[in-house]
Structure 1
Amino acid sequence: MTEPADDTDDRRRSIGARRNPETEEAILAAAEAVMAEEGIAGFSIEAVAKRARAGKPTIYKWWPGKTALMLDVYHRQKPADVHMDTGTVEGDIFAFLTGVFTHWGDTGAGQIFRFVVAEAQRDEAAADSLRAYAAERRLQSGQIFRRGIARGELSADIDVGLCADLLGGFIWQRLLTGRIERDPDQLRQLARQIVRGLVAPGA
């Protein structure tokens, strides 16, 4: 069972009134700067509003809380090569894992995402923001498996969403337990195991 076509702008269109692109860019740039200079502890809607010279009501109209804004900053910093089309499913998964773990390990992005997950355990607005973000990423990661179906590499009846959940669940678990994988041989083995399964040939 496959998913509908990806549309990662649905959540953004559904929150608040239509955004002014220049104001949105100013707020996101200010949020990114505050995060870089002050870290998670110093990140607040007040600090972003002051930096962007924007009213707090405008920010709250477009982002329901600081966690939602933080997630947009996090996604803004994610490198494009995380979602490469390499020509094979195994290659795509390897590129995805390499890109995400490198990004988490070499920048403050992993710490930001861990904070977001922690906030979601105690705050319902943060949990809503994380669920919406995870749904978008599930669709995006699902493209790896949709391409595999289109190429004839994967069975047409696989559940693309479940495949994306397996991939996403692995990287989240590794992040939250402090086991970011950087060994390319291990990542290739993981990609191979996800695609080829656990059953012995001919079993």
Structure 2
Amino acid sequence: MPKSDDPSAPEEKRHSIGARRNPATEAAILDAAIEIVAEKGIARFSMEAVARRARAGKATLYRWWPTRGALLMAAYERQKQIGGYPDTGTLEGDVAAVLRLLFDHWARPEGAIFRHIIAAAQSDADLAAALEGYRRERLDSLTVLVDRAAARRELSGAVSGPDMARAIMAMAWLHLMVGRLDADAEGIARTLVRGWVADTPSPGPAV
């Protein structure tokens, strides 16, 4: 049963262990954050509500996550179950695999928090800043696909690596926001990479 965040409920505080994070307290805080967003939405999400539900001190929350947006992003990342990106041997296959991983993740109930974060960030400066930091990290991680394609000499050179990463991310986030997570990942990948790859990829790795 979820813990109450009713301010009238008796509190039994969890304690941090100085600068080092107490794993049990961290887990309780992130679980509480996820529960509150699921039950009440981001509009009613606050550091105070999370602290009450997790039975943790507000000072602990602010020490580990200095802003509300940072805590929301940490709660979302706790839910993520995506490790590395599969290496399929082609850029088109890699892009399709990434899109399918994301669509499958976001189709689960717990993935809905990210849709809330993107929507709320449009009018919440704190959340927008946290989302921008996360977006930049994800763009950096997507460069692995471009690097693989470059090593295979697949790329035509017509589009820069950062632009490819942005296009992949934009297509994925668009499908999340419009609720089209059943879309054909392979077809989307084929359309995306059409102008990125050479007509006849050179065999073998780059030297």
TM-score strictly above 0.5: yes
Check the 8 A contact 2:143/2:165 in 1, yes or no.
Answer: yes
Query: Which runs of at least 4 in structure 1 moved beyond 6 Å after TM superposition?
Result: none
TM-aligned CA distance change 1:52 to 1:85, over 3 Å = farther
Instruction: For 2:161 and 2:22, locate their aligned partners in 1 and report how far apart those are by CA, in whole Å.
Output: 33
User: Which residues of 2 match residues 121-136 of structure 1 at below 5 A?
Assistant: 121-136=122-137
Counting aligned pairs with the same residue, the percent is 41
Once the 2 structures are TM-superposed, how far is the Cα of residue 50 of structure 1 from its aligned partner? 2.4
**Counterpart amino acid of residue 92 in structure 1:** D
Match of 1:180 in 2: 180
CA contact (8 A) 1:64 1:125 kept: no
Structure-1 separation of matches of 2:123 and 2:38: 25
Q: Decide which structure has the larger Cα Rg and report it.
A: 2
Shift of 1:163: 0.9
- Could you report, residue by residue, the CA deviation over 1:34-62 in whole angstroms, capped at 9, with x for unpaired residues? 44565546543223212333211221233
Q: For the residues of structure 1 that align with 2:134 and 2:102, how far apart are their CA atoms? A: 16
**1:166 corresponding residue in structure 2:** 167
**Offset, 1:154:** 2.6
Q: Does 1:117 pair with 2:118?
A: yes
1:18 shift after superposition: 5.5
CA distance in 1, matches of 2:83, 2:176: 19
Q: Which runs of 5+ in 2 are unaligned?
A: 1-17, 201-207
Count of aligned positions: 182
1:81–1:99 CA contact under 8 A, matched in 2: no
SS in 1 for 2:107: helix
Identify the structure with the greater helix proportion. 1
Give the Cα separation in 1 of the matches to 2:155 and 2:22: 40
User: Tell me, what secondary structure is at the counterpart of 1:127?
Assistant: helix
Deviation (angstroms), 1:144:
1.4
Query: For 2:165 and 2:92, how far apart are their aligned partners in 1?
Result: 14
With the length of structure 2 as denominator, give the TM-score of the two structures.
Answer: 0.72
Counterpart of 1:83 in 2: which secondary structure? coil
Query: 1:102: how far off?
Result: 1.9
In structure 1, stretches of 5+ residues that fail to align are 1-16
Instruction: Provide the C-alpha distance between the structure 2 equivalents of 1:128 and 1:157, rounded to a whole number of angstroms.
Output: 32
User: Is the 1:27–1:52 contact (alpha carbons within 8 Å) kept by the matching residues of 2?
Assistant: yes
Residues 134-157 of structure 1, C-alpha deviation per residue, up to 9 Å, x if partnerless? 111111122211222123323578
Residue 87 of structure 1: how far off its partner (Å): 2.9
CA shift for structure 1 position 71: 1.5
**Letter in structure 2 aligned against 1:87:** G
Cα separation, 2, equivalents of 1:25 and 1:144: 32
- For residues 15-46 of structure 1, the C-alpha deviation after alignment (integer angstroms, 9 at most, x for no partner) is xx965252434422433344456554654322
